[in-house]
Structure 1
């Protein structure tokens, strides 16, 4: 082993340890790699930063924008409602439709976003049908993962292995190259879940509720209904003329101001509260109290306000302007360990945290000092425009649930046909091969923009930059391992151990190595590391590289075994009431089934 290879392996091992610890965050680790490789002399600066111009990275960014167009036009939500309607009262039909719908939608947009959209739909259907949500959440997450095995653009690992083929001077995969194998795995997944659901029946059974929760339902779920008040600001109130962030009403009095009703020229205007909102005499403050009995403490008199009648929830009254949404904290969230006060949600995102659920239970009061934990769900209130900005910000939190009122405020609902047209044009160009996949995706984005399905601001916000930086930072490792002989060393070890057993055994070995590595680090990073090994193994054996890199791509998506191996699994952990052992019990056998399908089917579609 030469010195440069030792340095490369040390950096790789350090990166994997940091990925597992998630400190610092993964995209920061990727940037450190970009700096460390040139400083150590393993790569030049140009080689280390080449990922920023890699077509696969730009393609992934464009696909985030395409997915945003499907959400802003309401297509994703309408698809979920259609599925719930068609399922009727049949649990079997519901599971089949759920997995087919999620897999189809996930084949052209982020599986994390798809699963986040469908969680509230599945919860409401489970309550209406009086069945445990645990029998549906696992099929939902598995379908999200299987969607990555259906098309070239379904998940970043597919694009990574495609780009590696192109870099080696070979023809890359086509749009539907994954589809024959992915469809078989999807059918196996549906059949497996129809059988395995009997092991998932211990969750809570809900009561009958409407198809999708309303804002009033969310308010009741988080115990807000008894704490809502309307308070008129008196002329002599000490609140007058001072911004809310100076008044400390939450910490001093347990009063959280959500919005302000202000009389202007014979009509009431609603102003969603921010830290800079300045109360004026006669304003009606829409507030959330830490306790329904707070008025008994004399707080109203002290701050110069008087109660005003509240006939129904102000969230329902002002639903066109004032929205509610649930957000979940994924395992890598930087908000874990911080209090709601420290997070400064209102100043950063112009949204108020009005509720907190932990382990399925709502915590009472305005919890300004409560320390957040991974897996918590927060209920936030604010304008629909500000709520929309939360979509796909999957680093610190994931937009988990939107109430039924979102149907009335989808920002580009009338543009849904144009979004479908743009998507069809993109897929048609990718399938035909008239232009490159990147050009097809960029044309789709331009069409979405020209039809006003998206805006420039929403397009930039929709791109998950940490994922792109992670890919850019891991790509130099593949080149460094090639230059220093690391790939040859790995291939030599594989051939020495399994070379005499035949290519199918090596195929299975690569699948297992990729799937196991993906339990600890990002599946994208796993694909970046394993794709060159697969190519070199095929070259050393003198066989076609396509079955080997296909096996790596499929294994990278086979993150079924633990709740932390994919954000998709983490999202359904709390709604399904699952434990770590549940994923092992259901995920390990299915991963072995996917391994069997891969070893049998891949060589038939892509001969050695």
Structure 2
């Protein structure tokens, strides 16, 4: 069997796996690489050279620099201003989407979205609006902003590097700007004026209470003398129940302790504040002997209320002889007193979650939680976190917590110690959605961070250093001077993207060396020989928009180069078409990480994306092709 046929079989299976989405894209890419080695398409001693490719190094450096911006407070300064925008939807979209477009040009677009996502959620909550109207435009804006510079998105870095291998000269930092800026501006204007009306509006999911309906499930359960829970630790209680029902707090002697920090044994009279529905309530009663009910003090108060009521009734006859005007006044006072006491008791019973460090977080594509359960992750033992609830597609999941396998885009309600929450979420690969405590960072580090980045940009502009070297040096200095701690630098690296790039680069080269790219180009040339070149460019745009953006750039770049050779034209416009198309994956939530990140918080369904994504893709196509031919003529 010819090598080109084998390459097509491997790539066909890879594309099907990408679209299916059952396995994470980095695992699919690694399987494609190893399969190519076994079939002899990629030499064994060259299998992992892709991980040292300049494109991979550049992407890694950009990720570290992006985290440095966050750490130094650069973006928080911007976010603080955004929160003042007010309640007009037009202005909210204008500043949010406009800001993410600009930020995505100077840092990784997924990082830019991750920084502004909590700001959008907070805006929606403060104005009692659904976040769905803001989040999809915000995600698509991050994709548009990535078009504008070399470092905005991985496809640009891949295309720039491939051009260097073909022509000996890479695209520069701002080579993408003339086309990318116009396309981004057109897409931004479309979203702002028309596109937001096409976004499916999901009702009332902006707040924690709306998404998880927490208040309806917070209950107080008392440990009685004969309760099985008496003398057990919380961990032993969960083992007894065979269920991970979260204990948010333990109240003892009027002192409340957060559940995650309570390590003693339960005693008679302890009150457990738990998050449980009717089925869990029955389980707690049957297996642990926990009961809903008033404590002795409340019962005494109730008895006193009853005694007072009976005394009033007994004295009813005496009241008949009194002045008629005084009777209703006294009756009103008594009613007011009883209502006030009732409200006081309800407030006492209805304990809230204040001070319990509850936080919402969305599961990222690269999270270690994906396709695993809470028991497999050992959230409490390993990370000190309690899982309270899980929301998917904008609604709370009703199944047992221990049975839920997490997916990218799931929104989790977690409880943990305030000091450990941030680190635990970062390790797990979750993005916090709760109101961010915006800090201005350290002014000195803010200026240092900007200075390091500016120096790298100048080195690239004046061709003093290659992009991979300049940005890697900037990332190293960022770590050395303390703008970003080393541990956070490693956490900033997006492992799945690095593996995807490192694995697919040799496979893309195999497509070229086997003659597969030339065969596809010949077929497209034969099909479009009677048509203008612009028609072929449109076809190339459509093909480059099918799968994951980085994978599309890696696979379509050799085909674009073969097409340019067949037309005896410059390779630049063909590569630019691939760069723009691969970065504009608006049609599905799996097309780009930004799309996946907003799926859970926005309550979107899989089929919601094309409603705005398809018209926006057509706008990008209509603007991009003429601009490419104008700036990069054939």
**Same-fold status (TM-score > 0.5):** yes
Distance 1:231 1:453 in 2: 49
Equivalences, count: 576
Within the candidate set 204, 216, 222, 2:212 is matched to 222
Counting only pairs closer than 5 Å after superposition, residues 325-344 of structure 1 correspond to structure 2 as 325-328=360-363, 335-336=370-371, 339-344=373-378
Distance 1:325 1:103, change over 3 A: same
1:427 to partner: Cα distance: 2.8
Matched, 1:440 2:430: no
| Structure-2 residue corresponding to 1:568 | 594
Distance 2:453 2:240 in 1: 46
1:34-60 per-residue CA deviation (whole Å, 9 max, x = no partner) reads 323233222322332210211111111
Distance 2:148 2:240 in 1: 49
Distance 1:529 1:224, change over 3 A: same
Matched, 1:407 2:438: yes
1:269 to partner: Cα distance: 13
More displaced 10-residue stretch of structure 1: 242-251 or 344-353: 242-251
Matched, 1:526 2:552: yes
Distance 2:373 2:350 in 1: 31
Structure 2: unaligned runs, 5 residues or longer: 298-346
Within the candidate set 186, 209, 217, 1:188 is matched to 186
1:151-185 per-residue CA deviation (whole Å, 9 max, x = no partner) reads 10111111111111112242111111111212211
Distance 1:359 1:167, change over 3 A: closer
The normalised TM-score by structure 1 is 0.81
Distance 1:95 1:299, change over 3 A: same
Q: Is the 8 A contact 2:160 2:171 kept in 1?
A: yes
1:1-56 per-residue CA deviation (whole Å, 9 max, x = no partner) reads x6222222222212222222334432223223332323322232233221021111
1:229-286 per-residue CA deviation (whole Å, 9 max, x = no partner) reads 799999x99887x875454268358753457999xxxxx9989838xx842799x998
3-state DSSP class of the match of 1:106? Answer: helix
Within the candidate set 474, 479, 498, 2:509 is matched to 479
3-state DSSP class of the match of 2:264? Answer: coil
Structure showing greater radius of gyration is 2
Distance 1:270 1:108 in 2: 45
1:461 to partner: Cα distance: 1.5
Distance 2:480 2:351 in 1: 39
Distance 1:537 1:37 in 2: 24
1:283-309 per-residue CA deviation (whole Å, 9 max, x = no partner) reads x99853426996994988879xx9999
Within the candidate set 596, 600, 604, 2:630 is matched to 604
| Structure-2 residue corresponding to 1:48 | 47
1:519-574 per-residue CA deviation (whole Å, 9 max, x = no partner) reads xxx11111101111112222232222111101100000111223332232233334
Distance 1:168 1:420, change over 3 A: same
| Structure-2 residue corresponding to 1:91 | 89
Distance 1:123 1:512, change over 3 A: same
Distance 1:416 1:271 in 2: 36
| Structure-2 residue corresponding to 1:378 | 412
Distance 1:599 1:483, change over 3 A: same
Structure 1: unaligned runs, 5 residues or longer: 208-212, 263-267
Distance 1:364 1:47, change over 3 A: closer
Q: Is the 8 A contact 1:326 1:379 kept in 2?
A: yes
Distance 1:467 1:254 in 2: 33
3-state DSSP class of the match of 1:551? Answer: helix
Q: Which has the higher contact order (CA 8 A, sep 6+)?
A: 2
3-state DSSP class of the match of 2:8? Answer: helix
Matched, 1:547 2:532: no
Counting only pairs closer than 5 Å after superposition, residues 148-187 of structure 1 correspond to structure 2 as 148-187=146-185
Distance 1:177 1:330 in 2: 30
Q: Is the 8 A contact 1:327 1:380 kept in 2?
A: no
More displaced 10-residue stretch of structure 1: 439-448 or 380-389: 380-389
Distance 1:33 1:129 in 2: 48
Distance 1:23 1:569, change over 3 A: closer
Distance 1:34 1:179 in 2: 33
Within the candidate set 387, 390, 393, 1:353 is matched to 387
Q: Is the 8 A contact 2:228 2:287 kept in 1?
A: no
1:418-439 per-residue CA deviation (whole Å, 9 max, x = no partner) reads 3333333333333333211112
| Structure-2 residue corresponding to 1:38 | 37
Q: Is the 8 A contact 1:233 1:281 kept in 2?
A: no
Distance 1:159 1:500, change over 3 A: same
| Structure-2 residue corresponding to 1:279 | 264
Distance 1:259 1:206, change over 3 A: closer
| Structure-2 residue corresponding to 1:452 | 482
More displaced 10-residue stretch of structure 1: 572-581 or 253-262: 253-262
3-state DSSP class of the match of 1:562? Answer: coil
Distance 1:222 1:131, change over 3 A: closer
Distance 1:297 1:332 in 2: 36
| Structure-1 residue corresponding to 2:452 | 422
Within the candidate set 102, 118, 133, 1:104 is matched to 102
The normalised TM-score by structure 2 is 0.78
Distance 2:398 2:516 in 1: 56
Q: Is the 8 A contact 2:219 2:276 kept in 1?
A: no
3-state DSSP class of the match of 1:248? Answer: helix
Distance 2:580 2:464 in 1: 27
Distance 1:432 1:21, change over 3 A: same
Q: Is the 8 A contact 2:505 2:554 kept in 1?
A: yes
Distance 2:488 2:271 in 1: 31
Within the candidate set 452, 465, 474, 2:495 is matched to 465
